[in-house]
Structure 1
């Protein structure tokens, strides 16, 4: 019986000692350091930019239609030709218009010959009148010669009027002929020639792509309108031509929403146009990205995720001697992911994404 009691007491004491040792060890250890992801404060430039999809389009494009009421025509150009403003594109075949010029010119020549003839007759009549006066013929005899001169002069004026009238007829006939000649309204390239009327539009004619750098057209949602202004400089990039960018300016932003087949749409879209400074290596129809800047800043930069709102101020946690120290900062400029701040220095180590329970002075260890 005594032996049993001894064994029991010894076991209880041993368990007690073990338990005491455990609690003493657990309670006496140091605080566990919080792991963190760090960021070394840098100085650089950041910018606010948005990307929009777009499509390369010609600098300008227009169709010079064939007029079927003017009859047949003769082309002076072919698809792919480069043309200058005023260069002949095609001419209508209208024999009556050309005949009108010829007839008017013939009438003028006849009238001019008659003017010359009457002028000679007048000169001869005047010489005879002067000769009769010198011969001392009576006034009655001279009267007939004077009447003849007056009649000839009157006829001469009529023929001169016919010459002037012929000039007007020639001018009108030539203007009609000129309407048969259709010239290019601008420098450019012949993009297409449709000789037979299109089934959908019923139109036929020459499509002229204007010379000059390409443009880019794209769409903005009603929420994005404020991020782009007419006159704003933008950068254009293309997946097709890797590693190259083009510059340009926004030249137009539509004020009327684009039509949509979706009856349930809740957001309106507006078209914008960018005129490029140059378009080397780009092709009509390429799909591109238009990058619009809304601001930029250079200075001390930190991740926005490192900034914590505390009361009415912003703070970051600077790591010093293995501890997190609160440091107030002033945000001067920000993008979606970064911010330019004052209050920290280049090279300082901060916590890029502080935990909610992180406190000033807590021990931390880098992950």
Structure 2
């Protein structure tokens, strides 16, 4: 190859690499020009400040004292309950008789079933005997006279097969009745107190088929309710304070043992007060607390439940403390999503202090004020999005509360990323962005998964390719790139080539 051609090809290759970089840069710039849609829900810092010693919404949860577990004994509606051996309030032990079915009716049905089986067996034997006789007669009858005999034989065979099937069915029914007679008496499987029973005289009008309900003996549970906006802020084993409604200075401690995921159908058993987290427009969910002490607690007592924030950690919390989930990191710096003066969401750097590993919150030394508004991190949040304090705003962005393991607030390792320079071999040493990628949101990401800031990208592009014409940002990308490539190729190739 001529020396001039080698130089030309090399120049074209360099220019092509530069053009690819510029294209990636314009794609990156273009993603900032499109306005982000949707609104971000924000909460005032003072409402989620765990140093205040109140729940995340400054509210308390309604609760009621219930038995540790209730065991229901349902009656079989196909049977008749003859007698009830217990009444409401009775103390029962495991093995105590609860109620009895009427076995007289079942025994009569069983006797009739046995008679029916014997009748069908006799019918089968009679039919089989007739079949033998017809078969013998058939052997003696000429071929042209067997038609009538064949018809009778087929009919009897069908009758036998049907009768044998009916016998099996009736025997299965009799076996079930016999088992019911044997289990006519229903016994308690636990120790406890009879919570409720059905009225035998009014059993047909009962709304439930639970004949006896027993509250197991032992410790109590506290049943609380939480609405859908707050349910993500409580968790199993979370320490809580149980406070008397009569005397607010009377308290107990405990931990949340379980949280239901299906909404309650009826919340009428719960009181409501001005400080409650209840919302008439949101679903409510039950959660349960195991108290550390039973002293002074009564079955059916209504109480208030508050998160026990900071009391077990021994840390004197002052200023601003937030749950760690509100904070995310990028390139070793800590940030939170906050509302700016124009009521838009922005990423703001904060300085962290102590961290309470037990409670999962962290001290904010600087960067936030108590009257600021912040958002829970989500992959769907973008700089400049509108904000709202209405949790039911129809324009809210889709909720995505899965935090990234690397704390980069949205650029996780599972996102498909594409090489910005098209170099799949990674050997493009002249490209300053070799080894970098662009994720689905148009962000530059280095090999360690860190997102480059706008300033860092600008600086790298300036250093690599010089000053970029700002007016070209609004031009059509494909047209601009083609023009760059054509011009570069024309300038690089000698006129005589």
- Per the shorter chain, which TM-score range? 0.3 to 0.5
* Structure with higher strand content: 1
Higher relative contact order (CA 8 A, sep 6+): 1
Q: TM-score, normalised by structure 2?
A: 0.33
